[in-house]
Structure 1
Amino acid sequence: MAVVSGSSSGGAKDDGPIRVMVVDDSAVVRGLESRILQADPGITVVASVGNGQVAVQALERHDVEVIVLDIEMPVMDGLTALPELLKRDPNLKIIMSSTLTLKNAEVSLTALSKGAADYIPKPTASRDMGGGQDFAVELVSKVKTLGRVRRQRSGLAKPLFPPRSRTPVGTPATPAAPAVSALSLKGPLQLRPPPTERPDLIAIGSSTGGPQALFKVLGDITAAGGVPQPIMITQHMPATFTTILAEHITRSARMSAKEGVDGELIKGGQVYVAPGGFHMVAKAEGTQRKLALNQDPPENFCRPSVDPMLRSLAQIYGRRLLVVILTGMGSDGAKGGKVVVDSGGSVVAQDEATSVVWGMPGAAAQAGICSAVLPLSEIGSYVHRLATKR
């Protein structure tokens, strides 16, 4: 074990740098990740270890807030270590680190279901090991965001969004659009009137914490009787991971889900997942509606990104578009959501209390574009009511 810096458990200050442990059996990867993290003044690496068993032991000696945890390691792998680490500190934020293989994508999604907060593709020799910045930016961003969320939930840091004192508008308390529920804000949000027409398409955007939120929302829609509309999903994920995500949706939500294919017809009852590395948008050809994939520049540092999907859908579906913004860091979906509501469509966002990170849904809620801001457990039934009303 190589300890980079130490701090005694229980005596650490909660207004200082985010305290991180790096766990990977490769000394090269550990060194790279530690250097990247230590270079940011808002982060300190308190321990760097080679397997899950040593990581569990290290929690007895170090005050850790975020762990970057490799999946494949000797002695104790990441998936085995995950519950042991969370048993010792349920408030830990754990980011799974894995290579881009189908097997590891499957394991990463399993880890998310067992309490991991997020995942990150491991650095590649051809790009990130040679000084590329994509991995570094993503790693630092996720560590700092999750560390801040941990502190916010403990009352040790300021909330991401300041309190708002705006008056709700419309009639958000009707059965079709419940009022803001379980939302930990100090002031009321401005809610738009609920939609009056049944949507022709449902679009969902999500990021950190998104896979589990998607399984819950889509599963609840199925349990309520399903919907006839097509569903388009943009989840911030790399290639390979989105393939596995679609398979998990098919199994867990009992919906027909697949990665979107360029040029295919958009059909009712089908779930389309944006493939990693591509923006997924819609286009109209006469009376037909088709998917289109492109590799235009990333938006909000992401490809796929939610905003281009929503802009394209707003042009085609107008007021008959329903958008759901689920948990995720950043603000992807807020600008596209504004285009949607300006075109007559509607947006619903997940609330803060049930979000892993209230970045994307928080940005939409604070922008005043939502008809409802709801706990995760209520979103599926809300969507079903709107999608099936006469």
Structure 2
Amino acid sequence: MRKIRVLVVDDTVVIRRVVSEVLNEDPEIEVVGVAANGIIALAKMSHLTPDLVILDVEMPELDGLQTLAQLRPAYPSTPVIMFSALTEAGASATLEALALGATDYFPKPSSVNGLEESRNVIRNRLIPAIKSLARLEPIASRPTPTVVSTVSSEANSNKTEPLPEVQILAIGVSTGGPNALLELFQSFPSDFPVPIVIVQHMPPMFTKMLAERLTTNSRIRVSEAQHGHPLVTGHALIAPGDYHLTLRKMGLKVFAELNQNPPENSCRPAVDPLFRSVASIYGSGALALVLTGMGQDGLRGCEQIRETGGQILVQDEASSVVWGMPGAVAKAGLAHKVLPLSLCGTEIVQRVKARRGGR
């Protein structure tokens, strides 16, 4: 099997060395080149022909955003992972990079936790991401977007009795999520009739910036969840980085709860804890949506949502950056429908308004 060819672009010598050394330890990956800035990287692209580019956000002469803007038109299908500092400026720049066509992002290794810890993070998190993204089929050869009903009873049940009234929308998403969420939320009306809760796999600070971007570019108010935050109709709460988000019911009201319990599926926040709590509180009133992402976080939570009578939608393979999370749910036969991202918003609005007379 041919190795995955990687170009590492970063202005820090230590970062280039550490990342290159750890990646080259893997028998399936080869670092074919390094560059200290975007100008050098763009000059090397044509003769190195990398399968994936790791691109630092902050660099002299030509930074990551400027480099990406020039790289994308010439190499539209080459996955690009942005390296970003865990700062407000870094988070903002990373979201801008994703909007410009970056495939994924990764917190930049630092000396704060020690060199060996950085190496472990690269081995355990960056390398799996590289292998998943670099093995994607070209867009042209990926499946044609289609709407598929995977729960065979739904078509018949729609004819004989209405679906349960939706009381909450719960969303789980990872790789490719910021852009997918933006497209989804732009299709929601301002009078969206139920609360929304979201787990997007992101580090601290990034989730806050994502919430602000979604609020600015849609008709839905999105906030980073706080402990004790009440759920409100038409308002979306997103799990903050490094905290699991679950729900707790007190009387007639439901509140957000945050914890730092151990990661699940190597993630914190993770989708499964949120979906489990949604199932236990809302039962058949739950509507879950699993969007693009690596791994299978959300699968166990979807099992519980199905067991309590809730509804599940997943994004299809053709429109997903990575069809790991939604694919796991679809392959397990848990999804009521598998949909292109462009149709998810319309489907959700129809379902949440189905028992409300179109209000």
TM-score range, shorter chain: over 0.9
2:133 pairs with 1:142:
no
Give the secondary-structure state (helix, strand or coil) at the position aligned to 1:275.
coil
Cα distance change of structure 1 residues 167 and 227 upon mapping to structure 2, 3 Å threshold? closer
| Pairing 1:234-253 to 2, within 5 Å after superposition | 234-253=199-218
- Aligned partner of 2:129: which letter? K
- Aligned partner of 1:169: which letter? S
Deviations 1:288-344 (A, max 9, x none): 211100000101110000000000110000000000000001111111101100011
Q: CA RMSD in A?
A: 2.2
| Pairing 1:156-305 to 2, within 5 Å after superposition | 169-172=152-155, 196-222=163-189, 226-305=191-270
**Rounded Cα–Cα distance in structure 2 between residues aligned with 1:71 and 1:335:** 35
2:311 pairs with 1:354:
no
Cα distance change of structure 1 residues 130 and 343 upon mapping to structure 2, 3 Å threshold? same
Partner of 1:50: 36
**Rounded Cα–Cα distance in structure 2 between residues aligned with 1:363 and 1:98:** 29
**Rounded Cα–Cα distance in structure 1 between residues aligned with 2:161 and 2:117:** 49
- Aligned partner of 2:178: which letter? P
Cα distance change of structure 1 residues 275 and 129 upon mapping to structure 2, 3 Å threshold? same
Partner of 2:343: 378
**Rounded Cα–Cα distance in structure 1 between residues aligned with 2:270 and 2:32:** 34
Give the secondary-structure state (helix, strand or coil) at the position aligned to 1:365.
helix
Is the 1:274–1:304 contact (alpha carbons within 8 Å) kept by the matching residues of 2?
Answer: yes
Deviations 1:25-73 (A, max 9, x none): 0000001111111111111100111001111000121121110100111
2:1 pairs with 1:21:
no
**What is the CA-CA distance between 1:373 and the residue it aligns to?**
0.4
Give the secondary-structure state (helix, strand or coil) at the position aligned to 1:97.
strand
Partner of 2:146: none
**Rounded Cα–Cα distance in structure 2 between residues aligned with 1:351 and 1:101:** 33
The percent of aligned pairs where both chains have the same amino acid is: 40
Is the 2:11–2:35 contact (alpha carbons within 8 Å) kept by the matching residues of 1?
Answer: yes
- Aligned partner of 1:170: which letter? S
- Aligned partner of 2:201: which letter? H
**Rounded Cα–Cα distance in structure 1 between residues aligned with 2:32 and 2:346:** 44
Instruction: Report the structure, 1 or 2, having the larger helix content.
Output: 2
**What is the CA-CA distance between 1:266 and the residue it aligns to?**
1.4
Is the 2:199–2:239 contact (alpha carbons within 8 Å) kept by the matching residues of 1?
Answer: yes
TM-score w.r.t. the length of structure 2 is 0.92
Is the 1:172–1:372 contact (alpha carbons within 8 Å) kept by the matching residues of 2?
Answer: no
Deviations 1:237-290 (A, max 9, x none): 000000000001101112111111111211111110000000000011232211
Is the 1:20–1:65 contact (alpha carbons within 8 Å) kept by the matching residues of 2?
Answer: yes
**Rounded Cα–Cα distance in structure 2 between residues aligned with 1:42 and 1:153:** 23
Cα distance change of structure 1 residues 128 and 236 upon mapping to structure 2, 3 Å threshold? farther
**Rounded Cα–Cα distance in structure 2 between residues aligned with 1:47 and 1:195:** 58
Cα distance change of structure 1 residues 60 and 265 upon mapping to structure 2, 3 Å threshold? same
**Rounded Cα–Cα distance in structure 2 between residues aligned with 1:270 and 1:113:** 23
- Aligned partner of 1:144: which letter? K
Cα distance change of structure 1 residues 359 and 380 upon mapping to structure 2, 3 Å threshold? same
Structure 2: unaligned runs, 5 residues or longer: 144-148
**What is the CA-CA distance between 1:194 and the residue it aligns to?**
9.9
TM-score w.r.t. the length of structure 1 is 0.85
**What is the CA-CA distance between 1:226 and the residue it aligns to?**
3.9
Give the secondary-structure state (helix, strand or coil) at the position aligned to 1:261.
coil
Cα distance change of structure 1 residues 107 and 310 upon mapping to structure 2, 3 Å threshold? same
**What is the CA-CA distance between 1:218 and the residue it aligns to?**
1.1
**What is the CA-CA distance between 1:117 and the residue it aligns to?**
0.3
Cα distance change of structure 1 residues 312 and 26 upon mapping to structure 2, 3 Å threshold? same
Partner of 1:315: 280
**Rounded Cα–Cα distance in structure 1 between residues aligned with 2:281 and 2:319:** 32
**Rounded Cα–Cα distance in structure 2 between residues aligned with 1:167 and 1:124:** 45
Give the secondary-structure state (helix, strand or coil) at the position aligned to 1:44.
strand
2:51 pairs with 1:65:
yes
**Rounded Cα–Cα distance in structure 1 between residues aligned with 2:219 and 2:151:** 36
Structure 1: unaligned runs, 5 residues or longer: 1-14, 160-165, 178-192
Is the 2:150–2:336 contact (alpha carbons within 8 Å) kept by the matching residues of 1?
Answer: no
**Rounded Cα–Cα distance in structure 1 between residues aligned with 2:206 and 2:58:** 17
2:322 pairs with 1:365:
no
Deviations 1:94-137 (A, max 9, x none): 00101011111111111111110000010121225244423432
**Rounded Cα–Cα distance in structure 2 between residues aligned with 1:105 and 1:292:** 24
| Structure 1 moving runs of 4+ over 6 Å | none
Is the 2:84–2:90 contact (alpha carbons within 8 Å) kept by the matching residues of 1?
Answer: yes
**Rounded Cα–Cα distance in structure 2 between residues aligned with 1:153 and 1:227:** 33
